[in-house]
Chain A
Amino acid sequence: MKKSIKRIISAACAAMMLLAVPGCGQTGGEVSKEFTPRYSTETEYKLTIAGTYSNFESLESAFERFYAYYPNGEIQYVYLDDYRNTIIPALAGQEPPDIYVVQPWMYGDDQFAPLFDGAEVLSDPELDINLDCIRSGVRWEMDNGEILALPVFATSYGMLVNMDIFEKENLEVPENFDELVDTCEKLKAAGYESPVMGANTTTTPGIGYTFAYPMFAKTVKDDRSVEDGLNNLDPAAGEAMRDSLTRLKEFIDAGCIDVEKCSAEIEDDYNSVIMRFFEGDVPMMLCSGDVVSGTKKRESTSEAFSANPFRYDFYVAPSGDESGYYMDSVSILFSVNKNSENLDMTNEFIRFLTSEDQLGLMAQEKRLINPTDDYSIDEIYSSLSGFSEDCTVNFRDTELLDTTVKQFRAAAFAVVNGEMTVDEAVAGYGTIPTD
């Protein structure tokens, strides 16, 4: 009798445990349907990923999903102070990271050459990493066809749009410059003092860069012959900036944006931009994708937004005559340290991560643009889905150096603030102060 009871209880417990196993698997998050562990799931490992984000929770969530397959290990994300100066010593030091962040601007700079020299070739068929899931525009193939880095997040430049205001004022989100001017006039008439706002800085999320740089990049994409001159800071090459700076000047002159108001009310190019937008009275807020990534967490910290929440989406700034220009840029990429002590498991983690599901989940949590073809994961970026290829500038369409970009940012800032005319900015290319 006792044995029978024990058997019954044991059987019940076993059944419950069997039922619980898949349940446990689910608690860590959604598991990729396609991923099949290559190694024993009992494998012990410890991996370190070094990066530029002081906080990388979306990656840490991916760790949890990976632990569902390989529970006996630990992956640690480490923020490196002064990344551009410490990542190289770190790779050469006693505790080298197994995976590290690279960014497109690092390529070609001798200082960062070890990052690419020491990177595992992810396109090696042996590794079985599904790089085809990456959108072609952000897939970064070296000249020899090798892929050394996995795009984790894409980004762009444009504007956050308060959809409730447009709905309330019965307006459509403008798709070209004329519509933008027209919409801004209507919004001003409706009482919106500065229909467009943004951070008045020289940084990438600043007004000038976000509004005019995509147009400038399109100019370069269409005529790559100017690229060398621009990279060499040839003043003559400054002519390539004329159209985009002129359009920027028209934008300012049309009264679409009150620059002084922006300077007064938006103190920095990130937190202030978001918090000001959440006040709810700004129809359009110029910003970068990185700024958008900070919106989700700040919704709850904004008293105004908590009290009066509204729907908002990200749109390309309508700077062109026909439409805006979509900069399909890469935000960060992961490279694998080919000297990693845990190279197999490091590659296994990258193999796990390289899927529409995992990259989509990370992008959704980080609220950056998904590097795969699927824009539907985060509704806020849905406007980018199916954007015209003609008006899209992929990050590999141009090879402008960081110095060139800085010259444009400085020129745009000067034009926005009336410190230079367009002619002066064009003529001063290569010598415009950037600090």
Chain B
Amino acid sequence: MKKRNIIIINILIVGLILFVIVKYANDRAHESNEASIAAFEKMTTTTEQIIANYLEDEQHLCDIWANYINRSAEAGEPMTVDEAISYIRKAKISPEISGHLIYTDDGSLDGISTSASATDPSDYSVDYSHIKIFDDLENGIAEGRVNLTRAYTNPLNGVQSIAFLNNVKVLDSETGDLRDGLVIRVVPVSRLEQKLVFLKGEYENVEISLIDWDGDYMIHGKSLKNSNFFEYFKSYNPMSPQEYNDVVNAIRTGIGSMHIRNSKKEDSVIAYTPLSGLDSWYLIAYIPATELTDSRSIDWLLLGIASVGLFILLHFNMCILRGYNRKLSIAAEAANQANEAKSLFLSTMSHDIRTPMNAIIGMNEMILRDSREEETLMYADSIRTAGDTLLGIINDILDFSKIEAGKMEIIPVDYGFVSLLNDLVNMVQRRAEEKGLSFELDVDRNIPSMLSGDEIRIKQVITNILSNAVKYTKEGGIVFSISCSKCEEDGDSVILHVSVKDTGIGIKKEDLDKLFVAFERIEEKKNRNIEGTGLGMAIAQSFLNMMDSKLCVESEYGKGSVFSFDLKQKVVNPEPMGEFDAAFKRYLSDRKQYKAKFVAPEARVLVVDDTEVNLKVFVNLLSRTKMQIETADSGDAAIALFKRNFYDVIFLDHMMPDKDGIETIKEMKACADTPNKETPVICLTANAVSGMREMYIEAGFNDYLTKPIDTGRLEKMLLKYLPHNIVETVTEDKETESLGKRQSILVINEDVNMLRRLKEWLSDSYDVTVVKSKEQAASYLKNHETDLIIAGDETALTDGTDESKIIRINTGEIDQSGAVSLAKEYFKGKH
């Protein structure tokens, strides 16, 4: 992952945590605010009760005055204005409160007061004609409720006051008439304000206001400006007329609270409630929102600390990660260098081992072809066997390298199942026979004759298993079973069930896990003499995994093992292959066309290699093709010939001193003056590590051939690239004739060396099968026919063996010429 992405993810996580914290803090703050506002509303309603009770008390006192005056009138002894005022003066206790009595029936609104004018101590007259406070009492004055005026200026002392009213009947002393009057209990507003002082303890900045229906204040705190609350609200809280009306209605009709902006545009809260017992008076409690939501600041502090902490943690982690990354980079660099070193080593190993191997195997092939000396041929055969083993080890290492690098691919091709089986049997049967082991083949005759899959890898897997079985079995034998069943999921495919059972040393349960570990060899000390790298099973398992299969092992230590796997393969030709022997013969007849042996006297071939012996090997391997082969031991020499002479095919070694194969081919391709512009150039390489093919094709080679050179592959490649008109293939008739004359011989002997020798001596002229015991012979004869059985003097044979086909020999005395003569004589007698 890129560093930037890690930082982004970390920041996102930090952001997410902060978001959760903020949300949590906000939710808690919101809950806290709601609780605070609810408590504030409760305080408001409590205050309203206090104020309402106070106002009712004041009204009650006013009513007592009025009742006393009116009862006198009702009793027929109405009081004069002076008497009434005199009574009120006596009745009232507080000097701050005054009583006014004015006439209302003539609209003069004048009368007298209990207190004298502030400017004239002798003047008790009072005049309300210029003070508009009675207009608001639209419904008149009613008994049983608070009849309260707005705050107004007491005309006698200029004090802002409120008035409680009641009607009275008084006697006009001048006229003697009973007149309607109004008794007014005048209470300074400041007295009411004093009642609210107690609230300061609970809320530091609360301000209580009383407003009337129109919003005019009776009292108001210093934060609420204007003379009218609604106008104040409108001035600092812009909104649509509809919204404004909703707010006004809410205040006039219920209890609640809302946020408003004050004159400084600060968030504030008002709680409102109507004054109970009064018409159209409302209590508004104002408080700055910050006082109700102070607790929220604690959350922000916590959030700040958490944020700083998280960012410090992030920074710390980034520093640590950076440190780790530095170390990882160094380690990765070292690993890369090690990997490069490994690749270089593999490349070098492949090249450096294959190059001499090419000479060894190539020259050995010459010996096997040309020599007629018995001992020499025996030694050469041993060299070939050792060479094949060594090549197998190298190939295993290279395969494993490819698997590790992820460059191994499964390449499905159509293949004949009989051919595959034949290669396997040929390879293993001989080795088993050499060790005197029985090799039993149990093949399902219903297996389709043509399948699609990676033939090479399947062969490699089974070969590894069979080779292991042979290697680790000292006595007994090997049973190789293959059956098939229909694939339920895919009608076009079959499942091959492959099983190899041996009577070998077996594997301990605790060692089963090591079986598929690369370079791990079970019981290393005990099996020291058995060749191998410890890669075979690991490679087999890897290949099977790549083909969606799995190698299963059942083993009993000391008794043997069963290796098995199931493999899904596409069916190309569903025709059953039938009995293996018959099918094998059919296969042989079918494959004749591919086993091309040709002569091409007109063909001109150039081979370039810096190693002289390799040039000799190459020339000798192809000597029977009668081609005209020229050699060059360096790139420069090759280029000189390339410019001068025409060639049908050029083989160019890769790893050469001074100018290597790639540099040489580039120069060749750049060369305009040459008759070889269209000549295919094939790379000869001892470097068979992964990725080579791509490199060679990219460099301009048409193909490549690995060393040690396999004659069959070499001839096949030549057939592919040589012009057909100069190639003369061996005719089909000759091949068929040759095949028909070949007789089969079964050799039975307990001496393995003798068996190997006899096989080598007779194989040039006959198909030779060797077995170690009468049981193996019986098993072989059960499935095969043979023309001759050669057995030792004392070798026991099972009953029912055709005696006419048996020749007894003294194996201690017979030599190659004797064995060949013996066979020739036998077959001569038959004809």
Q: Which residues of A contact B (CB under 8 A)?
A: 5, 9, 27-28, 50, 54-57, 60-61, 63-64, 74-76, 78-82, 85-97, 114, 297
Contacts and interface: CB of A to CB of B under 8 A. Distances in A.
Contact of A81 (B132, B157, B228): B132
25 contacts: A5-B305, A9-B301, A9-B304, A9-B305, A27-B266, A54-B227, A64-B264, A75-B222, A78-B160, A79-B227, A81-B155, A82-B153, A86-B154, A87-B158, A89-B155, A89-B156, A90-B153, A92-B119, A92-B157, A93-B118, A94-B157, A94-B188, A95-B190, A114-B119, A297-B235
Q: Which of A56, A75, A78 has the most CB of B within 10 A?
A: A78
A70 to B, nearest CB: 13
B190 A61 contact: no
A384 to B, nearest CB: 27
Contact of B159 (A57, A75, A87, A95): A95
B225 interface: yes
B753 interface: no
A75 B130 CA distance: 27
B231 A55 contact: yes
A57 B158 contact: no
B821 interface: no
Nearest to B297: A13
A82 B304 contact: no
Q: Which of A57, A78, A82 has the most CB of B within 10 A?
A: A82
How many chain B residues sit at the interface, stated as a range, is 20 to 34
Contacts of B188: 94-95
A50 B231 CA distance: 20
Nearest to A95: B159
Given A61-B263, A64-B263, A94-B188, A82 B235 contact: no
Interface of B: 96, 117-119, 130-133, 152-160, 188, 190, 222, 225-228, 231, 235, 263-264, 266, 301, 304-305
B264 A27 contact: yes
Contact of A82 (B119, B130, B228, B266): B130
B303 to A, nearest CB: 12
A9 B226 CA distance: 42
Contacts of B156: 89, 93
Given A55-B228, A94-B188, A95-B159, A81 B153 contact: yes
Nearest to A96: B158
Query: What is the interface of chain B mostly: helix, strand, loop, or mixed?
Result: loop
Given A64-B263, A92-B119, 13 more contacts: A9-B304, A28-B264, A76-B222, A78-B160, A80-B153, A81-B130, A81-B153, A88-B119, A88-B158, A92-B118, A92-B157, A95-B160, A97-B158
Contacts of B263: 60-61, 64
Contacts of B264: 27-28, 64
A91 B119 CA distance: 9
Contacts of A61: 225, 263
A96 B153 CA distance: 12
A69 to B, nearest CB: 15
Contacts of A88: 119, 158
Nearest to A67: B222
A90 B301 contact: no
Contacts of A27: 264, 266
Q: Which of A61, A74, A88, A92 has the most CB of B within 10 A?
A: A92
A80 B226 contact: no
Nearest to B220: A76
A54 B263 CA distance: 18
A351 B235 CA distance: 29
A214 B16 CA distance: 73
Nearest to B95: A94
Nearest to A82: B130
A88 B155 CA distance: 10
B323 to A, nearest CB: 22
Contacts of B231: 55
A80 B226 CA distance: 14
Q: Which of B117, B133, B222, B263 has the most CB of A within 10 A?
A: B222
A426 to B, nearest CB: 34
Contacts of B225: 57, 60-61
B158 A90 contact: yes
Contacts of A63: 222
A88 B154 CA distance: 12
A420 B422 CA distance: 145
Nearest to B264: A27
B131 A82 contact: yes
Contacts of B235: 57, 297
Given A9-B301, A57-B235, A81-B132, A93 B158 contact: yes
A219 B153 CA distance: 41
A201 to B, nearest CB: 20
Contacts of A80: 153, 158
Contacts of A97: 158
Contacts of A86: 153-155, 158
A85 B159 CA distance: 12
A199 B397 CA distance: 115
A19 to B, nearest CB: 16
Nearest to A12: B304
Contact of A90 (B131, B157, B190, B227): B157
B153 A55 contact: no
A92 B564 CA distance: 122
A87 B158 CA distance: 6
A88 B133 CA distance: 20
Contacts of A94: 96, 118, 157, 159, 188
Nearest to B156: A89
Contacts of A95: 157-160, 188, 190
Given A60-B263, A94-B188, A89 B157 contact: yes
Contact of B158 (A56, A60, A64, A91): A91
Contacts of B155: 81-82, 85-86, 89
Contact of A57 (B117, B157, B226, B301): B226
Contacts of A57: 225-226, 235
A307 B118 CA distance: 53
A27 B223 CA distance: 14
A5 B305 CA distance: 9
A95 B153 CA distance: 11
Contact of A85 (B130, B226, B301, B305): B130
